[in-house]
Amino acid sequence: MKPSDLLTRFPSVLMAWRNLGRNRVRTALATLGIVIGVVAIASLGIAGAAIQQQATTDLGSLTNEVTVTSGQDSDVDGVTDDQVARIERLLTDARVVPQKTNTTTIESREGEAFVTVTGLTEASALYNASAGEAPDRLQSGALLSAGTARELGLELGDPVEYEGRLYRIRGLIEAEGGFGGGGNELVIPPSGLADQQHYDSVTIVAADGEAATAIVDRLEAEFNDGEEEELSVTSFASAQENIDSFLNTLNLALLGIGSISLVVASVAILNVMLMSTIERRGEIGVLRAVGIRRGEILRMILTEAAFIGVIGGAVGALVSLGVGLVLFDAVAGDALLVVRWSSARYLVFGFAFAVVASVLSGLYPAWKAATDRPVEALRG
Amino acid sequence: MSVIVLESVTKRYESGAETVVALENVDFHADRGEMVSIIGPSGSGKSTMLNVIGLLDTPTGGTVRIDDRVVSDFSEAELTEERRSGIGFVFQDFHLLPMLTAVENVELPSMWDTSVDRRDRAVDLLHRVGLGDRLTHTPDELSGGQRQRVAIARALINEPDIVLADEPTGNLDRDTGATILDELTRFTTDEDVAVVSVTHDEQLVEYADRVVELIDGVVQE
Ligand SMILES: Nc1ncnc2c1ncn2[C@@H]1O[C@H](COP(=O)(O)OP(=O)(O)OP(=O)(O)O)[C@@H](O)[C@H]1O
Ligand SMILES: [Mg+2]
């Protein structure tokens, strides 16, 4: 079957295509309007997604962590073994990492550095090693911040001293993203801080931000009734929620701006379609006179509008994809992140919006042309 | 039997205080195989009458019958259907679609009718009007006379009962007009259709089987 045969099966498509071809400049300009609208809506949407993606990465693992410290009404200064045991019994589905902290100065031939000393066992729950390892159970040796090690000229296997004991460096840890932490830190087995009776804090690693929030509620219920605060429980999950809702608002605002340009483009199509149906009034009168139905006229003109929408939408989506690749490359350093649904969906939305807006703008001119009385249209 | 019958048809145009009577008590009929000419001075109501016959306009009074059915009962969709299947139109200024080829223009009335393929008949009709070698030409590549012959082929594509032509030779020189009238006359018998043409050109009268004269909307006996 030849393409022309296929088109005679869809006369509205054939006629619409030929009609658009009659005034190429006008068709091109109307299509360009849609392209710009789609690029605006899709690029701004993708920009929002890129910002959101970046903000989430920056907050990093902090959002699924809950930190427990001694409350203001507690009798002891710190979290007791007993309390840790209660927490562990309560939270069977999360990793509970009690830790003791202190500060010290470590020295090497190249200088000295002030560090936070953290005593804990489950190093792998809280740290990622950029060299060496962050073991599941830290029984001997130490982990040192990579930056500090560089500063002091220390390498894996070198010893560091704390309170008269020597620890071999087993892993270099990276600064965690987000707030605090990371800086200069020395991580050793809890035995090294055995002279501190209580834990300074307990970090609980939950599956995600939502689980962290639930854990906060359960701990509050268990330990703090009413005004009495036995343990202070904090998490970054609520901060994350605030940031998320801010970013969502930002996203909506960006999309709103994009939609306005698409509305403007639709008005341009409305104008173009109206002009072209008024110019073709006599011609449409002839069609009606020789027995073409109202619905068929309507379909023909809507198809013209849909063509502009589909072509403009497709070109716009392609351009936006390019914009997205550049944006993600600049913001997240990985251009291909743009194909993830959270940002790629704006390409689909932009395209769908373009087609819908175009067809809607075609409705009035199409209806007007289809219901025009042929006698009057023929008289001109 | 008559294809179309008008019984005391009246058409009035009201514009503000003024009333124009374009047709008054017009009785008319057209039969298959005959060529009827409507003549009369400008403004006498010829086009109005043709529009009523062609179901493009509705009269203010009287009855229009097609095959014994009263047209005033028809819905807009039924009128369109009747025009599509039973009536062919030829206009003074051709009214071909510029973006379609000759053969596509001929197929136009049946284009949306995907159940039938009229391509063969369209080609045949164009051969019969002497345009067998112009099938894929667009209207701007054809002369006035050729365009009008395409229009005649278009009017006949759906095997109508009646062909209506409003001043079909009005935009053509005398000789070309004569060949167009020859075509129309030939199709009257070949296709067994009624042809009703309007003209104020005396020439057309020679070809007519019957002449109806209108003056101020009234048929002259
Ligand atoms: N839409 C309309 N509104 C008001 N008056 C109209 C309308 N159409 C036609 N008329 C009037 O009806 C009368 C008949 O018009 P019509 O077009 O039928 O004349 P005609 O015989 O075809 O003239 P011509 O030979 O110049 O084409 C004229 O007086 C015209 O002014
Ligand atoms: Mg006239």
The ipTM value here is 0.94
Q: Helix, strand or coil for residue A107? A: strand
Distance CA A259, CA A369 (A): 28
Interval B90-117 mean pLDDT: 92
Q: Answer whether residue A263 shows pLDDT above 90.
A: no
Q: How far is the CA of B41 from the centre of ligand 2 (A)?
A: 10
Task: State residue B17's pLDDT score.
Answer: 87
Q: For residues A131 and B165, which has the higher predicted lDDT (pLDDT)?
A: B165
Tell me the average pLDDT of chain B.
92
Structure tokens at A263: 């509305």
Q: Could you say which of A14, A22, A282 has the minimum Cβ distance to residue B95?
A: A282
Please give the number of the atom of ligand 1 that sits closest to the Cα of B11. Answer: 12
Task: State residue A6's pLDDT score.
Answer: 60
- Counting DSSP H helices and E strands in chain B, the numbers are 7, 10
Task: State residue A180's pLDDT score.
Answer: 41
Task: State residue A175's pLDDT score.
Answer: 61
Task: State residue A178's pLDDT score.
Answer: 38
Strand order in the sheet with B210-215: B87-90, B162-166, B194-198, B35-39, B210-215, B218-220
Interval A277-289 mean pLDDT: 94
Distance CA B185, CA B201 (A): 16
Distance CA A298, CA A287 (A): 12
Pairing of β A111-119 and β A185-188: parallel
Q: Answer whether residue A112 shows pLDDT above 80.
A: yes
Q: Answer whether residue A3 shows pLDDT above 80.
A: no
Which of the listed ranges A120-124, A190-194, B38-42, B114-118 does the model predict with the highest average pLDDT? B38-42
Q: Answer whether residue B78 shows pLDDT above 90.
A: yes
Checking phi first, is residue B181 left (phi over 0); if not, alpha (psi -120 to 50) or beta? alpha
Q: Answer whether residue A182 shows pLDDT above 70.
A: no
Residue of B54, B117, B74, B109 whose CA lies nearest to A293 = B109
Phi first, then psi: give them for residue A201, nearest 5 degrees. -155, 160
Alpha carbon separation from A225 to A68, A73, A74, A77, A314 (Å, rounded) = 16, 11, 13, 19, 60
Residue of B156, B84, B163, B161 whose CA lies nearest to B124 = B156
| Largest Cα–Cα separation, chain B | 55
DSSP code of residue A63: G
Alpha carbon separation from A318 to A38, A309, A337, A346 (Å, rounded) = 10, 14, 16, 12
Residue A59: which residues within 8 A CB-CB, separation 6 or more? Answer: A177, A178, A236, A239, A240, A243
DSSP code of residue A269: H
Q: For residues A225 and B210, which has the higher predicted lDDT (pLDDT)?
A: B210
Task: State residue A305's pLDDT score.
Answer: 94
Task: State residue A50's pLDDT score.
Answer: 86
Q: Answer whether residue B212 shows pLDDT above 70.
A: yes
Task: State residue A60's pLDDT score.
Answer: 63
Alpha carbon separation from B10 to A375, B6, B60, B118 (Å, rounded) = 17, 10, 6, 38
Task: Give, in degrees to the nearest 5, the angle at Cα A205 between A200 and A211.
Answer: 125
Task: State residue A179's pLDDT score.
Answer: 39
Residue with tokens 């003209």: B199
Q: Helix, strand or coil for residue B162? A: strand
Percent of chain A predicted with pLDDT > 90: 33
Band the pLDDT of B27: cuts 50, 70, 90: very high
* Most informative mutation of B24, B37, B47 for ligand 1 (most atoms within 8 A of CB): B47
CA A112 to chain centre: 41
Q: Answer whether residue A367 shows pLDDT above 50.
A: yes
Band the pLDDT of A1: cuts 50, 70, 90: very low
DSSP code of residue A79: B
Q: For residues B178 and A59, which has the higher predicted lDDT (pLDDT)?
A: B178
Interval A303-329 mean pLDDT: 94
Residue B89, min C-alpha distance to chain A (Å): 7
Q: Could you say which of B76, B97, B112 has the minimum Cβ distance to residue A296?
A: B112
B120 touching A (Cβ < 8 Å) = no
Band the pLDDT of A128: cuts 50, 70, 90: confident
Band the pLDDT of B201: cuts 50, 70, 90: low
Provide the 10 A C-beta neighbour count for residue B99: 18
Indicate the helix (H) or strand (E) that contains B2.
strand B2-15
Q: Which residues in chain A (352-371) have CB-CB distances under 8 A to chain B?
A: none
The CATH code of the domain at B2-212+216-220 is 3.40.50.300
Task: State residue A295's pLDDT score.
Answer: 95
How large is the C-alpha radius of gyration of chain B?
Answer: 17
Residue B110, min C-alpha distance to chain A (Å): 8
Q: What is the 3-state secondary structure (H, E, C) of A12-45?
A: HHHHHHHHHHHCHHHHHHHHHHHHHHHHHHHHHH
A296 touching B (Cβ < 8 Å) = yes
